[in-house]
Amino acid sequence: MTDERRKFKRESAKARKEALILATLELVAENGVRGATVRGIAQRADVTQGLIRHYFSSKEELIIAAYEHHMTAMTDQTFAPAAGVDGTALARLTAFVNASLTPPVVDPRSIALWASFLNKVQQDPQMKATHERTYAYFRDFLEGLIAAALEEAGRPAAPARLRQLAIACNAVIDGLWLEGGALPDAFAPGELADIGRQSVAAITGLNLEQEAEKT
Amino acid sequence: MTDERRKFKRESAKARKEALILATLELVAENGVRGATVRGIAQRADVTQGLIRHYFSSKEELIIAAYEHHMTAMTDQTFAPAAGVDGTALARLTAFVNASLTPPVVDPRSIALWASFLNKVQQDPQMKATHERTYAYFRDFLEGLIAAALEEAGRPAAPARLRQLAIACNAVIDGLWLEGGALPDAFAPGELADIGRQSVAAITGLNLEQEAEKT
DNA sequence: GGAAAAATTATACACTTGCATAATTACTCG
DNA sequence: CGAGTAATTATGCAAGTGTATAATTTTTCC
């Protein structure tokens, strides 16, 4: 009677892959990489499990694709706002800190994904490479912004000093990102970005608040 | 012939539980909570899997016990050094920052454990309670140290300001802890603690370096 | 409209998982 | 030293895992 074969619609490879990747990210965030089972992912994407093997040669490959998708999204969300500002270096630094500490970058799901992927990232060479590239890019970019802003203010810094400033500022941003994502209700909207700008200002001796008010 | 039954030695409940918990933490750090299988844990503890059920009524219970063991160890390692100092509040603050940013607190395994447990912590009420208690304790302690040190320096701060300072300092420490554990080879010994003290000093306006040199 | 091709579903398999229970062994205490 | 008891091992089981492959349906194209 009801044991009819399931109806389906054909989709483009691009759309199906995207849907599977998004379903994978949801489940990885919720249950970790091992908890994101092939059957669960298929169900979330409203598809039967065999289809996954049609688009990805293994679960491993799907996981890697999902990780790269996520990292690209995070990078875009962080860098786009700062790149859009074409004023002073100080203005770009301010925009960068703000973007790093407001949604959608600050988000419980991002933290969950970060945590879930960590194990795999440290073991799989390809994922490790993606991670390190992204991290280095982030920190170098921040260091560049700080260097330019200091020069602009007439107080250029030596490379060693610059490295320390970048590490420290990166740490505040990371720490606030972590706290904001782990305890979403503990902070008022904009509070994290406020504290972030103040802290970067205190560490570098630059005045980011003045910049923030210009908006 | 060789299918003799395995020889064994009886141990105290305390010792066996401890051994099982340590094996669990190892495997959770390496492979995540789901990757830490009952069989794997038993093998790591040099025991057969049935014994786990004899000491813990389920895997879940073992995981929770392991998490609490780890959190207690982390807390002890962080707070003991600061509690040992009975000089000025500034000295205690400095000791606290140092302890938070040197081994064994800074350690790749700690990061891996933190990440591996995150999912479960957000889902299991008991683990969530443990986590929030530990986190609040940490931040309140830091806020208290900052408040005392500021008062000592003749510049007491209002509660709202104090809260922001504690959040910011906590974030730097967390961020540096994270970077140090995720990229162990990227920092020279003591470098993280140096940067941590400088950053906390910059944010609060206190002079932690002078304190550090007294050692 | 019908055949060819590709997307999708359905089924099967070997392996792992957590848990339960029976069989044995090491230690304790008289 | 010998019986009793609790610790430990051994075995089994049902459910879930990733993967492989066969069966079917949708779309395309002449």
Domain ranges of chain B: 1-56, 68-213
**Minimal-distance CA residue of chain B relative to A31:** B119
Helix, strand and coil in chain A, % to nearest 5: 75, 0, 25
Amino acid in position A175 = G
* Near-strand D residues (CB closer than 7 A): A 5, 7-10, 34, 36-40, 49-50, 52-53, 58-60; B 3, 5-6, 8-11, 13, 16, 47-51, 54
A124: left (phi over 0), alpha (psi -120 to 50) or beta: beta
| Mean pLDDT score, A154-163 | 97
Statement: residue B70 has pLDDT above 60: yes
Task: For residue B5, give the DSSP letter.
Answer: P
C-alpha A79/C-alpha A118 separation (Å) is 22
Choose among B134, B22, B19: nearest CA to B72.
B134
The mean-pLDDT minimum among A61-70, B19-28, B179-188 falls in B179-188
Q: Residue A168 is nearest to which of B115, B178, B195, comparing CB atoms?
A: B195
C-alpha A143/C-alpha A153 separation (Å) is 15
Q: A196 falls in which pLDDT band (50, 70, 90)?
A: very high
pLDDT of residue A82: 83
Say whether B115 and A111 touch across the interface (CB within 8 A). Answer: no
Choose among A93, A106, A84: nearest CA to A204.
A93
Helix axes B191-204, B125-152, angle to 10 degrees: 60
C-alpha B202/C-alpha B166 separation (Å) is 13
C-alpha B95/C-alpha A68 separation (Å) is 40
Statement: residue A152 has pLDDT above 80: yes
| Mean pLDDT score, B115-143 | 94
C-alpha gyration radius of chain A = 21
Q: Encode burial over A189-203: b for 16+ CB neighbours within 10 A, e otherwise.
A: eebbbbbbbbbbbbb
CATH superfamily of the B68-213 domain: Tetracycline Repressor, domain 2 (1.10.357.10)
Q: B5 falls in which pLDDT band (50, 70, 90)?
A: confident
Statement: residue A161 has pLDDT above 90: yes
Q: Residue B71: how many CB atoms within 10 A of its CB?
A: 20
Say whether B178 and A174 touch across the interface (CB within 8 A). Answer: yes
Inter-chain contacts counted by CB atoms under 8 A, chains A and B:
117
pLDDT of residue B200: 98
Statement: residue B78 has pLDDT above 70: yes
C-alpha B4/C-alpha B66 separation (Å) is 33
pLDDT of residue B211: 67
Statement: residue A215 has pLDDT above 70: no
- Give the CA-to-C1' distance from A5 to D23 in angstroms: 11
CA angle, residues B167, B171, B172, in degrees to nearest 5: 125
C-alpha A106/C-alpha A108 separation (Å) is 7
C-alpha A15/C-alpha B156 separation (Å) is 59
Q: Residue B112: how many CB atoms within 10 A of its CB?
A: 22
Q: B94 falls in which pLDDT band (50, 70, 90)?
A: very high
Q: Which nucleotides of C are covered by protein (CB under 7 A)?
A: 7-11, 16-22, 24-27
The mean-pLDDT minimum among A155-159, A166-170, B18-22, B79-83 falls in B79-83
C-alpha B201/C-alpha A202 separation (Å) is 9
**Minimal-distance CA residue of chain A relative to B197:** A168
Tokens of B113: 């454990």
The whole-angstrom distance between A18's CA and the closest CA on chain B is 24
Tokens of B37: 């299988």
Evaluate whether B21 touches B66 at the Cβ level (below 8 Å). yes
- Give the CA-to-C1' distance from A54 to D27 in angstroms: 17
pLDDT of residue B115: 96
% chain A with pLDDT above 90: 87
- Name the residue with tokens 């304190």: B211
pLDDT of residue A209: 80
Evaluate whether A208 touches A93 at the Cβ level (below 8 Å). yes
Strand C and B5 CB separated by under 7 Å: yes
Tokens of B112: 């891996």
Statement: residue B215 has pLDDT above 70: no
Answer whether B198 touches A (CB < 8 Å). yes
Fold of B1-56: Arc Repressor Mutant, subunit A (1.10.10)
Statement: residue A213 has pLDDT above 70: no
Q: Which CATH architecture has domain A66-213?
A: Orthogonal Bundle (1.10)
Answer whether A75 touches B (CB < 8 Å). no
| Mean pLDDT score, A49-57 | 96
| Mean pLDDT score, A180-209 | 94
C-alpha A30/C-alpha B119 separation (Å) is 7
As a whole number, the mean pLDDT across chain B is: 94
**In this predicted complex, what is the ipTM?**
0.91
Statement: residue B51 has pLDDT above 70: yes
Amino acid in position A34 = R
pLDDT digits (tens, 9 = 90+) for A109-135: 999 999 999 999 999 999 999 999 999
C-alpha B213 chain-centroid distance: 26
pLDDT of residue B212: 66
C-alpha B18/C-alpha B196 separation (Å) is 34
| Mean pLDDT score, B136-140 | 93
Instruction: Supply φ then ψ for residue B148, to 5 degrees.
Output: -65, -40
- Name the residue with tokens 């982030």: A138
A9 SS3 class:
coil
Q: B2 falls in which pLDDT band (50, 70, 90)?
A: low
DSSP secondary structure string, B187-208?
A: S-TTHHHHHHHHHHHHHHT--H
Q: B184 falls in which pLDDT band (50, 70, 90)?
A: confident
Q: Which CATH architecture has domain A8-56?
A: Orthogonal Bundle (1.10)
pLDDT digits (tens, 9 = 90+) for A73-82: 999 999 988 8
Where helices occur in chain B by DSSP H, the ranges are: 13-35, 38-44, 50-55, 59-84, 89-100, 108-123, 125-152, 159-182, 191-204, 208-213
Say whether A31 and B119 touch across the interface (CB within 8 A). Answer: yes
pLDDT of residue B158: 97
Say whether B170 and A178 touch across the interface (CB within 8 A). Answer: no
Statement: residue A2 has pLDDT above 80: no
Answer whether B167 touches A (CB < 8 Å). yes
pLDDT digits (tens, 9 = 90+) for A60-73: 999 999 999 999 99
Q: Residue A119 is nearest to which of B31, B171, B195, comparing CB atoms?
A: B31
Answer whether A202 touches B (CB < 8 Å). yes
Choose among A21, A178, A192: nearest CA to A110.
A178
